[in-house]
Amino acid sequence: MIDLDAHPQRIRVGEEPILMMEHIDKSFPGVQALSAVEMNLYRGEVHGLLGENGAGKSTLMKILSGAYRQDSGTITLNGEPVEIQNPLEAQRLGIVTIYQEFTLVPSLTVAENVFMGREPGGRGLLDWSAIQRQTETLMWRLDIDLKPMTLVRNLSVAEQQMVEIARALSIQSQIIIMDEPTSALSEHETQRLLQIIRELTAQGISIIFITHHLEEALEICDRVTVLRDGRNVGTEPINRLSTERLIRMMVGRSASELFQRRSQHRFGDVALSVGNLNHTPDTRDPNAITLQNISFAVRRGEILGLAGLIGAGRTEIARAIFGADEVDSMDLEINGEPVTIRSPRDAIRLGLGLVPEDRKQQALFLALAVRANLSIASLSRLLRFGEFVNRPAENELIEEYRRKLSIRMATPEQRVSNLSGGNQQKVVIARWLALQPQVLIVDEPTRGIDVAAKAEVHQLLDELANQGIAVIMISSELPEILSISDRILTLRQGRITGEFLRAQASEELLMQHMALDEAVSAQVRM
């Protein structure tokens, strides 16, 4: 029932929830993912679903969207009990999920993607002008400037997400589930998405919003439900919540008990130096990024932060150093010795590690067990007689990183694809740490990771620096860059635009060097 003292604006007093999920249980082999979970949703409400990695958020939403069946418990929609057997049925009931991995077809246009599978006109005859007109209307309703005939392949991640939302709107959804929709968006794009969410709710649509960014939840949600270990911690209206309170509900500890960097790193010699890095890519690729005269060095024991907007070239620099992409020119030195790196294999042999940005595509063997994923890169260290894996050593290694990073898994034999998103990320990080690199590059290391685990990753990077490892960290979150880097480089459009010591830097200063007017307007365009 609604508490009259603290009812959020968008929910009308006396109204019944449109959705009630009651006493939901779900288990997987070795894991009780949800126990007696309750959640309800009002018309036009934005309801945040928060909790640590593995808390059960995605599982609960997969039940609501028909991807999984609950073991027990009931779902009531508009006052009627419903059995949601599969995703198509969920769609028929007006429930749509916007996943992080998009389901769009890159080679088709925006309009074709919006109406895929149910083109107006019927009987196999496509009424093109109708599709185009309707897509235009949808975009207008959302106040999005996207042309119906643009190929999806040429859209940014944020724009693709808009297409997914237009699609959800076109099938007359009443509930839109967004599972970490902002994790790959820039600050501007995130604000734009929040604006669109406000427009959707004004049209009576309800949103379930999963995020690890607490400020975002506080900004957009009417109420928040927190899960911990598959159980309800509570549901609270937003005006009773704060970051501090949310952290306490999520992890059972206060923010001040989480890691905050205090130690002073002691720098050694230059571990890696990059000079004269230039690259002019194939102009046919609309997303290609030119790198211009990139030069920098990082010392042992130092954490160097690379700050920049999406498209500034940070990931391209990391991939070039690691031998993953060919570039026009680059002079590399490791420990003062000139080296040539032609492939990631060369890079690993020379003591470099790279935790990539996109864990799904580049980093994990999803069909394999955690065991194989964790030890695959360090296999050579574990080989005792050339070909037999040293099991005790492998078990020790897995146990060490499971503990260090609090990786939540049933057993090391569990498939990585069954771990929660954040725990998959931890497996990637652990794999590279196990290799004991001399220079470690981490690209968006805490994307999709909960607040507590994020603090653990920060602590770990800090420890690595204390052990004399040179760390290069790419992050889109300025607070993260500012809290753990010793030195920060700003990048804009493939060039280094500034260098700051931690003590000198502030968000405003970095932002000024990351974005010129042109860069900002390019970001706002979408």
Which whole-number Å values give the CA distances from 334 to 69, 306, 361, 498, in the listed order?
A: 53, 19, 28, 23
Total interface residues for Mg ion by CB under 5 A: 2
Residues 449-468 as x/- pattern, contact with ligand ATP by CB under 6 A: -x------------------
**423 in contact with ligand ATP (CB under 6 A):** yes
Q: In the window 408-437, what residues touch Mg ion (CB under 5 A)?
A: 421
Q: Which span (184-192, 282-290, 294-302, 421-429) binds ligand ATP, by CB under 6 A?
A: 421-429
Q: In the window 371-410, what residues touch ligand ATP (CB under 6 A)?
A: 408
Q: Which span (51-59, 131-139, 166-174, 431-439) binds Mg ion, by CB under 5 A?
A: 51-59
**48 in contact with ligand ATP (CB under 6 A):** no
**188 in contact with ligand ATP (CB under 6 A):** no
**63 in contact with ligand ATP (CB under 6 A):** no
**246 in contact with ligand ATP (CB under 6 A):** no
Binder of residue 418, out of Mg ion, ligand ATP, none (CB less than 5 to 8 A by kind): ligand ATP
CB 506 within 8 A of CB 485: no
Count CB atoms within 10 A of the CB of residue 465. 26
What is the nearest approach in angstroms of ligand ATP to the Cβ of residue 228?
A: 10
**Three state DSSP letters for 131-146:** HHHHHHHHHHHHCCCC
What is the nearest approach in angstroms of Mg ion to the Cβ of residue 179?
A: 6
C-beta closer to ligand ATP: residue 53 or 232? 53
Among 18, 35, 48, 57, binds ligand ATP (CB under 6 A): 57
**Three state DSSP letters for 48-73:** EEEECCCCCHHHHHHHHCCCCCCCEE
**239 in contact with ligand ATP (CB under 6 A):** no
CB 483 within 8 A of CB 258: no
What is the nearest approach in angstroms of Mg ion to the Cβ of residue 502?
A: 32
Nearest to 173 by CA among 193, 199, 209, 203: 203
C-beta closer to ligand ATP: residue 34 or 350? 34
C-beta closer to ligand ATP: residue 85 or 287? 85
Which whole-number Å values give the CA distances from 389 to 139, 375, 493, in the listed order?
A: 56, 10, 46
Among 53, 190, 211, 485, binds ligand ATP (CB under 6 A): 53
**469 in contact with ligand ATP (CB under 6 A):** no
**430 in contact with ligand ATP (CB under 6 A):** no
**418 in contact with ligand ATP (CB under 6 A):** yes
Which whole-number Å values give the CA distances from 39 to 20, 61, 204, 233, 243, in the listed order?
A: 6, 11, 19, 11, 21
Count CB atoms within 10 A of the CB of residue 346. 14
CB 333 within 8 A of CB 277: no
Q: In the window 490-519, what residues touch ligand ATP (CB under 6 A)?
A: none
Q: In the window 79-108, what residues touch Mg ion (CB under 5 A)?
A: none
**301 in contact with ligand ATP (CB under 6 A):** no
Nearest to 310 by CA among 519, 512, 102, 152: 519
Rounded CA-CA distance 64/178 in Å is: 12
Binder of residue 423, out of ligand ATP, Mg ion, none (CB less than 5 to 8 A by kind): ligand ATP
What is the nearest approach in angstroms of Mg ion to the Cβ of residue 56?
A: 9
Total interface residues for ligand ATP by CB under 6 A: 19
Reading the block at residue 305, the tokens are: 């932060």
**33 in contact with ligand ATP (CB under 6 A):** yes
**28 in contact with ligand ATP (CB under 6 A):** yes
Nearest to 453 by CA among 412, 492, 404, 380: 404
Count CB atoms within 10 A of the CB of residue 209. 24
Rounded CA-CA distance 199/141 in Å is: 8
